[in-house]
Structure 1
Amino acid sequence: MAITGIEYNLFRNLREQNSLPQGGDVLELGEANWYGDVDIKQLAQDIYRFAPEDRREALFRTLDEVTQAKRPGMLWEIARVFWQIFLQPRSMTAIDFDGTDKALKLDLNNPVDLQRQFHLVTNLGTVEHVFNVAQAFKTIHDHTLPGGLMMHGLPFTGWLDHGFYNFNPTFYWDLAAANGYVMLLAVYAEVTPLKLVQLRDREHVFEMAKSGQIGANSLIYIVLQRPLEPLPFRIPMQGYYAKAISRKASEAWKNFR
């Protein structure tokens, strides 16, 4: 997982809206590293805007030292500063075969039980590489505290042979409906050039497709909140076949074949 301009803008905007848990426990599916398409000066400026006053100078010194030292793990070190700025987490846990030594080397195709739950679970460019998608999303559900947040960012169009899967909008909306998740944010995104479009609803994507606004390589980002009632994970039925989508969405299902 990389912190690109997309992730940077999403987390920054959510922080401005006070929509991110502060001082909580965070689980990353895919240990984040800094991508490099955001100027490091922007990160430094945001230390003084978002970090607690008593930690700003220490964070600035850490960022300066990391970028000057240029150690092999520099991109992961910068990512840790990013998390401190926008989340101030009490703890960070990552599952990643290709991350740093701190990451847990666990196979997300199989059931995972960390014996705890988290205020935020991120899946930003990871689950498309996991064959057993249903198990991976159950793992995310099971490790999110009731009322906690799940953030997904996965390929939508293009990304040829990047992973096993691309994910259509119906996946997220049907997942949310089956499990009682509140959809706090849905965003259509492209990395280069940077493009972010907040989606009003699932029908918004059809409007974009009809008007030629869907790019060759795009992603969808979703922020979901788990309900306070600790219900078990439910595998969704596709909304079209469950007759749970709007007439407009049903027509689009037929017209875009």
Structure 2
Amino acid sequence: MTLGAVDDAYVHLGILKGCGFTQFTEDRTEFKEVLRRVGFDRISFLDVSDFEGADIIQDLSAPLDPAYAGCADLVLDNGTIEHCADPLKAIENTLSLLKVGGVAIFMSPTNGYLDHGFWQISPTLYFDLFYDLGYEILFLYVRASNWGRFDKLAFDYKGISMHSDQDRLGATFPRALTYCAVRKTSNNATGIRPIQSFYSVRHTPRVFRDFTKIKYAASEIADVPVVNNRDLVGPENFVE
């Protein structure tokens, strides 16, 4: 299932390998064809209206129609959550669409997308939320978009230091997307609203989240070179 139309959406091999789909060799393949090749015999499109041909009409900010709960083995959000008035409800509904063992892939704007949607999604939201809900986090990284200063670079997200890393990330990735995939398990929680990791370790009681729980490093998934916190360049490198 896809959230919104994806006729022009492409996925690269690393993302699909990270989600367990390995039965083809093309490096970039149109998404619907990918699904057919790995054995999906039905591809549904969910949207708030049918103007792009969706066969499931659902506002993701509203309560999910129970008829759709647990109906999908794979859900792709190729850029829908940021357009929803209630992004946490939209994420919750997306997860509710999954069967146990199903995978959700999110590709969301993180930086440099002024007025593209209602929201820009920071990777800490996905990590903190999915960690606390008990989902298996398959991968989580930030990738420069095609319009960024660097269009062939990714950042392996393992948390950042507030302010100093923020400045360097903004300089290195002035226009960027967050890529995240999670697998639904049999004992996931619901309704949790996490405290951001940067602050949760300073509160009482302290809450620590383990980044080693992310199954794959970005270097195993991303189709471009990967940097980490130590490799980020400072804004002084970009004086015009």
For 1:234 and 1:4, locate their aligned partners in 2 and report how far apart those are by CA, in whole Å: 34
Task: Name stretches of at least 5 consecutive residues in structure 2 with no aligned partner.
Answer: 202-206, 210-240
- Mapped to 2, the partners of 1:160 and 1:18 lie a distance apart of 30
Is 2:64 aligned against 1:112? yes
Q: Does 1:93 align with 2:44?
A: yes
Count matched residues. 191
Q: Which residue of 2 aligns with 1:202?
A: 159
CA contact (8 A) 2:109 2:120 kept: yes
5+ residue gaps, structure 1, are 23-45, 51-62, 64-77, 247-257
Native 8 Å contact 1:141 1:233 kept in 2: no
Residues 83-232 of structure 1 mapped to structure 2, 5 A cutoff: 83-85=35-37, 87-96=38-47, 97=49, 100-113=52-65, 114-192=68-146, 194-197=151-154, 199=156, 201-203=158-160, 209-210=167-168, 214-232=172-190
Is the contact between residue 120 and residue 144 of structure 1 (CA under 8 Å) also seen in structure 2? yes
TM-score (norm 2): 0.66
Identity %: 20
Contact 1:150-1:225 within 8 A present in 2 as well:
yes
Mean Cα displacement is larger for which, 13-22 or 162-171? 13-22
Quote the residue 1:8 is aligned against. 11
Q: Who is 1:19 aligned against?
A: 20
CA gap of 1:166–1:79, structure 2 versus 1, over 3 A, is: same
State the alpha-carbon separation in 1 of the partners of residues 169 and 121 from structure 2: 20
Q: 1:200 to 1:215 in 2, by over 3 A?
A: closer
**Using the alignment, how far apart are the partners of 1:112 and 1:223 within structure 2?**
21
Cα 1:133–1:18 change in 2 (3 A) is closer
Aligned equivalents of 1:241 and 1:174: distance in 2? 11
Structure-2 separation of matches of 1:175 and 1:245: 13
1:190–1:218: 8 Å Cα contact kept in structure 2?
yes
Q: CA deviation at 1:198?
A: 5.3
Paired residue type of 1:242: S
Are 1:187 and 1:196, in contact at CA under 8 Å, matched by a contact in 2? Answer: no
2:216 alignment partner in structure 1: none
Preserved contact between residue 146 and residue 230 of structure 1 (Cα < 8 Å): no
Query: Looking at CA atoms only, which structure, 1 or 2, has the larger radius of gyration?
Result: 1
CA separation in 2, counterparts of 1:170 and 1:220?
Answer: 10
**Cα RMSD, aligned residues only:** 3.2
Kindly indicate which of the two structures has a greater share of residues assigned to helix: 1
Residues in 2 aligned to 1:183 and 1:102: alpha-carbon distance in whole angstroms: 28
Q: Could you tell me which amino acid in structure 1 is paired with residue 86 of structure 2?
A: N
| Structure 1 residue 116, shift from structure 2 partner | 3.5
Amino acid corresponding to residue 192 of structure 2 in structure 1: R
Distance 1:168 1:149 in 2: 20
Deviation for aligned residue 1:220: 0.7
- 2:234 maps to none
Counterpart check, 1:242 vs 2:200: yes
Amino acid at match of 1:142: S
Q: 1:99 offset after TM fit, Å? A: 5.4
Moved more, 124-133 or 107-116: 107-116
Q: Is the 8 A contact 1:21 1:120 kept in 2?
A: no
